[in-house]
Amino acid sequence: MLEMREIAPDIFFLKVPVPLTVGDINVYIFRGDVPTLLDTGTNTPGVFDLIQTALNKLKIKKLEQVILTHWHVDHAGTAHLFAGQGARILMNMKEYFRWKSFMEGETDDLFREWAREEAATSSISLIDDMCKAYGKLRQKMTVLPDHVEEIVPMQILQAGNYFLQSILTPGHTEGHLAFFENRGKRLFSGDMLLPDMISYPDIWREEGKFTSGLVSHLQSLDIMEKLDANAYFPSHGEPQLDPALRCQETRNEIHKQAVQYDSTRSVFENAVRLNHGTENLAGLFMRLHYVYGWKKIFEQNHKSLDG
Ligand SMILES: [Zn+2]
């Protein structure tokens, strides 16, 4: 059964099951002058066929382009297959390079370095196991396309019969893009505004120093709130009205969660305590990311209090 529906004239919502804890991902199909797919699902059996079935049903013979919100496997996993059919793949180049380094195992090195410098853990074998549990599994769910085209922030892209403006919304990843359809005031929010959860913040380097995406996430919420959108179309969960309200809720929720950070302990100790031990490695990996974000928010608050 295809779980597909028209959410606006010639814009279609399609729910795609993926073998990750999140369960499924929403992709959006724009029919019209420039047939477009927004995000793609994982490169796992059935996913590409499901989207293909949907395109056939909509009588879209050739997809002109695939637009990606970010590089994660559930969003970009089958892009190479559409590229093989002649579709252009469009994304923020920051995301492409992160994707490339993920495929080459370099993100593991970055995480190891971060764990040593910022989380204060001496258990390198545990960090290695975590990388294995998290990364290696996911590497099988995605293939890096040979060639992609760049989307820069604030770029206007035609999709179907609509125009989308790319909105740089870092947090979950460094180069995450949301897309705003101005005429209908619709926000395609990717993983940066979700109705039922808050996506985990990535860790990256800025001017040589490690930083948490959670700090950027708060700023991205401000940006999305000011767009004056009527509805948002997330990558997970159902489309919703009132994105500004959800931006406020998410911001409040992040601040509320951040209080759990215990500044007398290391990031690693905080994460282990919240994870009730080190057994659940995927859980610990996530928690390390959140706790680091809470630490950064804590430091920021204290800096502004001192100042
Ligand atoms: Zn993601």
CA–centroid distance, residue 235 to ligand 1 (Å): 9
Write down the pLDDT at residue 307. 53
Q: How far apart are alpha carbons 186 and 224 in whole angstroms?
A: 11
CB 83 within 8 A of CB 65: no
Structural domain count, the chain:
2
CA of 172 from ligand 1 middle (Å) equals 7
> How far apart are the CA of 74 and the centre of ligand 1, in A?
7
Amino acid, single-letter form, for residue 183? R
In a structure prediction context, what are the per-residue pLDDT tens digits for the chain, which is 307 residues long? Answer: 799 999 999 999 999 999 888 899 999 999 999 999 999 999 999 999 999 999 999 999 999 999 999 999 999 999 999 999 999 999 999 999 999 999 998 888 899 899 988 887 767 788 888 887 777 777 889 999 999 999 999 999 999 999 999 999 999 999 999 999 999 999 999 999 999 999 999 999 999 999 999 999 999 999 999 999 999 999 999 999 999 999 999 999 999 999 999 999 999 999 999 999 988 888 899 999 999 999 999 999 887 666 5
3-state secondary structure of 226: coil
Between the CA of 218 and the centroid of ligand 1 the distance, in Å, is 17
Same domain, 10 and 63: yes
Using the mean position of ligand 1's atoms as its centre, give its distance from the Cα of residue 5 in Å: 23
Do 84 and 158 lie in one domain? The reply is: yes
Amino acid at 107: T
What is the sign, positive or negative, of the torsion defined by CA atoms of 53, 59, 64, 66?
Answer: negative
Is residue 233 situated within a structural domain?
A: yes
Other Cβ atoms less than 10 A from the Cβ of 219: the count is 12
CA of 98 to the centre of ligand 1 (A): 13
Q: What angle do CA 300, 306, 307 make, to 5 degrees?
A: 85
Are 182 and 132 within one domain? no
The residues whose Cβ lies within 5 A of ligand 1, an ion, are: 72, 191
35 CA from centroid of ligand 1 (Å):
24
Cα–ligand 1 centroid distance for 214 (angstroms): 14
In this structure, are residues 18 and 25 in contact, taking their beta carbons and an 8 Å threshold?
Answer: yes
Which pLDDT score, from 0 to 100, does residue 194 have?
98
Are residues 163 and 50 located together in one domain of the fold?
yes
* 133 and 158 both lie in a single domain: no
Report CA torsion sign: 270, 273, 276, 281: positive
The residues, ordered by sequence, that sit 6+ positions from 59 with a Cβ below 8 Å of its Cβ are none
Query: Ligand 1: distance of its center to the CA of 178 in Å?
Result: 12
Q: Are residue 206 and residue 267 in the same domain, yes or no?
A: no
Burial 230-252 (b: 16+ CB within 10 A, else e): ebbbbbbeebbeebbebbeebbe
Contact 178, 193 (CB under 8 A): yes
| Residue 65 alpha carbon to ligand 1 centre in Å | 20
Whether 307 is in a domain gets the answer: no
* CA 79 – ligand 1 centroid, Å: 15
Of 190, 210, 241, which one is at a domain's C-terminal end? 241
Residue 281, domain extent: 105-137+259-301
Gap from CA of 201 to ligand 1 centroid (Å): 9
Question: Is residue 164 located within the same domain as residue 295?
Answer: no
- Reference 71, options 38, 94, 95, 105; nearest CA is 95
**Has residue 143 been placed in a domain?**
no
What CATH number is given to the structural domain containing 63?
3.60.15.10
> What pTM does this model have?
0.95
Task: Output the pLDDT for position 29.
Answer: 98
Question: Which two structure tokens, joined as six digits, stand for 25?
Answer: 């991902």
- Last residue within a domain, chosen from 192, 215, 241: 241
Identify whether residues 158 and 46 lie together within a single domain: yes
- 127 and 168 share a domain? no
**Are the C-beta atoms of 194 and 171 separated by less than 8 Å?**
no
